[in-house]
């Protein structure tokens, strides 16, 4: 069944004349649909192997977008779901997959790499404000769409379980990567334990704060809206800071095979810290602030472990587009962890200085 036919189940202005794959997500498949009137929409196939309760997921997305819309009148500043002809917010198509549709955010850009420090600073403002806007969202009404999503201890448990089975015999070609992960296991659980001990608060967070999950206005390069709301769940503020750093403050793409190109950019790290703390720093506790650099390192380690686990288990979770793709992704993450370890004092000093400089 083709995507254009599926699009016709939604309440669009005009009929679809083109429908092209777009976006770089590893989980859901995304298309841009254009109708005869020139109106554009985003059609998305929701990966229901990953998001098993699609109804609960979509209830979260509806509730979160309604909450954000009530705080901002500008329609380009929040994602807008397009209902189906029956008035639902998603449809189960004949191909057995779930689909949803959003209004296309016109005249916007979505970046895989920051073109300059300002773009990255602006994405930090967007995620910091997002965190603030959700501060009064009733967390108990949100369903945890992926239980234990950023539970680093549980991610290690899954990793070691797959490693023990080594179903494809791939472990022999990644001994060093495995050792890199295992030697950091104890440290990897630090923030999860602090949360369990009540030292860090649970907040409503985005949990996937990649630079390409922010839309910027094409002309002014200022934030429009935060997208990819599937993993908005209770979580740690540090993970939202950290996930942005691991993706956006890297000098190379997440799957760069040449590790000599992968570095932590301190100017980008500093720009993000300024934007994020400027937007939400005052609502964070001193321990949250202090552990932001650690959160950046541990979320990077965690994702490296997730990529490695998926490589060992035969690439069943993240979409791959070439051989050893998940292993390449794992290696960039581990290289970044090493870079963060090398810049550790500086990373901490930047957070401290920026925080103390807040008016």
Applying CB under 5 A, the residues found at the interface with Mg ion are 208, 228
Question: For ligand GN1, what does the binding mask look like between residues 181 and 210, x meaning CB under 6 A?
Answer: ---------------------------x--
Query: Across the chain, how many H-helices and E-strands are there?
Result: 13, 11
| Opening angle at CA 355, ends 351 and 359, nearest 5 | 155
Number of residues counted as binding ligand GN1 (CB under 6 A)? 9
Least Å distance, CB 43 to ligand GN1, is 16
Contacting ligand GN1 (CB under 6 A), which of 178, 303, 340, 354? 303
| Strand pairing class (233-235; 203-205) | antiparallel
Q: Phi and psi for 17 in degrees, rounded to 5?
A: -110, -20
Contacting ligand GN1 (CB under 6 A), which of 25, 128, 278, 293? 25
Q: Which does 293 bind (CB under 5 to 8 A by kind): ligand GN1, Mg ion, none?
A: none
117 within 8 A of 23, measured Cβ to Cβ: no
Least Å distance, CB 254 to ligand GN1, is 6
Q: Which of residues 141-170 bind ligand GN1 (CB under 6 A)?
A: none
Here the tokens at position 290 are: 């202090």
Q: Which does 134 bind (CB under 5 to 8 A by kind): Mg ion, ligand GN1, none?
A: none
- The residue of the chain with the least Cβ separation from ligand GN1 equals 25
Q: Report which of 85, 86, 44 is spatially closest to residue 61, judged by C-alpha positions.
A: 44
Least Å distance, CB 27 to Mg ion, is 6
DSSP secondary structure letters along 116-150: SHHHHHHHHHHHHHHHHHTTTS-GGGS--SSTTTT
* Size of the chain in residues: 359
Burial (CB < 10 A; 0-12, 13-18, 19+), residue 139, is middle
Judged by CB under 6 A, which stretch of 6-14, 19-27, 29-37, 88-96 contacts ligand GN1? 19-27
Nearer to Mg ion, 47 or 91 (CB): 47
Q: Across the strands, what pairs with 217? A: 108
Question: For ligand GN1, what does the binding mask look like between residues 225 and 264, x meaning CB under 6 A?
Answer: ---x--x----------------------x----------
Q: Which of residues 40-59 bind ligand GN1 (CB under 6 A)?
A: 50
| Opening angle at CA 310, ends 100 and 123, nearest 5 | 55
Query: Interface with ligand GN1 by CB under 6 A: which residues?
Result: 25-27, 50, 208, 228, 231, 254, 303
């Amino acid at each position: 069944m083709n995507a254009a036919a599926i699009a016709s189940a939604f309440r669009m202005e005009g009929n679809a004349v083109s429908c092209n794959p777009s976006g770089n997500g590893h989980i859901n498949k995304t298309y841009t649909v254009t109708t005869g009137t020139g109106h554009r929409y985003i059609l998305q196939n929701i990966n229901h192997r990953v998001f098993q309760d699609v109804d609960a997921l979509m209830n979260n997305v509806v509730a979160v977008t309604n909450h954000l819309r009530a705080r901002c009148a500008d329609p380009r500043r929040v994602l807008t779901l397009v209902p189906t002809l029956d008035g639902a917010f998603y449809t189960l198509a004949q191909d057995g997959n779930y689909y949803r549709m959003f209004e296309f955010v016109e005249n916007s850009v979505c970046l895989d790499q920051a073109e300059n420090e300002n773009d990255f600073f602006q994405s930090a403002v967007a995620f910091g404000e997002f965190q603030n806007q959700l501060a009064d969202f009733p967390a108990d009404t949100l369903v945890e769409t992926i239980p234990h999503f950023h539970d680093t201890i549980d991610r290690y448990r899954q990793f070691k379980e797959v490693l023990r089975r080594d179903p494809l015999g791939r472990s022999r070609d990644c001994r060093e990567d495995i050792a890199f992960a295992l030697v950091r296991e104890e440290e990897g659980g630090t923030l999860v334990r602090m949360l369990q001990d009540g030292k860090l608060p649970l907040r409503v967070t985005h949990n996937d704060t990649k630079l390409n999950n922010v839309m910027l206005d094409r002309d002014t390069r200022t934030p429009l809206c935060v997208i990819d709301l599937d993993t908005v769940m209770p979580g740690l503020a540090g993970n939202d800071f950290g996930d942005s750093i691991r993706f956006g403050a890297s000098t190379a793409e997440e799957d760069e095979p040449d590790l000599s190109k992968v570095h932590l950019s301190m100017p980008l790290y500093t720009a993000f810290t300024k934007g994020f703390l400027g937007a939400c720093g005052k609502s964070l506790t001193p321990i949250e602030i202090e552990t932001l650099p650690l959160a950046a390192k541990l979320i990077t380690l965690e994702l490296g472990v997730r990529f490695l686990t998926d490589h060992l288990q035969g690439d069943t979770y993240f979409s791959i587009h070439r051989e050893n793709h998940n292993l390449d992704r794992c290696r960039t993450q581990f290289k970044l962890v090493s870079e963060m370890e090398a810049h550790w004092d500086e990373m901490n000093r930047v957070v401290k200085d920026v925080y103390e400089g807040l008016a």
